[in-house]
Copies of this chain bind each other. A is one copy, B any other.
Amino acid sequence: MADTAIQIGELSRRTGCNIETIRYYERIGLMPAPPRRGRYRSYGAGDVGRLGFVRRARELGFTLDEVRALLGLAAGGEASCAEVRVLASAHLGDVRARIADLKRMERVLADSVRACDAGQDPGCPLIDALYAEPRLPPTGC
């Protein structure tokens, strides 16, 4: 309601989003090009909301394309909740897959570090593990 026109620095402070990133979002069309006061970009409350939305979606790991889609659906009202659900649960699948990947890495790394600490191997356990063939045993033709 009030004339809450702010500059890019203030928008950055309020959203925690880097100034360069804000301009980048404008360049790629994720944020609208705001009106100018002189040469300076002039933002309003709506921009603070939108950018906050983007930032929080990014924190949940959505790609910028997904964020773009979410922004579109957010404008669409209740009807789009089902579509949001589809997007979110697909992304949830991605996140879970990445967690599974990382846990596999974690296990191998933790094992190697533990073997290192035990210090019974002749060589370095991690280096040896990295040099070992994953499938073929060392013997055989």
A92 → chain B closest CB, angstroms = 4
The listed residue (B88, B130, B133, B134) touching A113 by CB distance below 8 A is B88
CB-CB contacts below 8 Å: A112-130 with B:
112-113, 116-117, 122-124, 126-127, 129-130
Q: Is the CB of B126 within 8 A of A84?
A: yes
CA of A113 to CA of B92, assembled, Å:
9
Show 20 residue pairs from A and B whose CB-CB distance is below 8 angstroms, ordered by the A residue: A52-B131, A52-B133, A60-B109, A74-B130, A81-B123, A81-B127, A84-B124, A84-B127, A85-B116, A85-B126, A88-B109, A88-B112, A88-B116, A88-B126, A89-B113, A92-B109, A95-B102, A95-B109, A99-B103, A102-B102
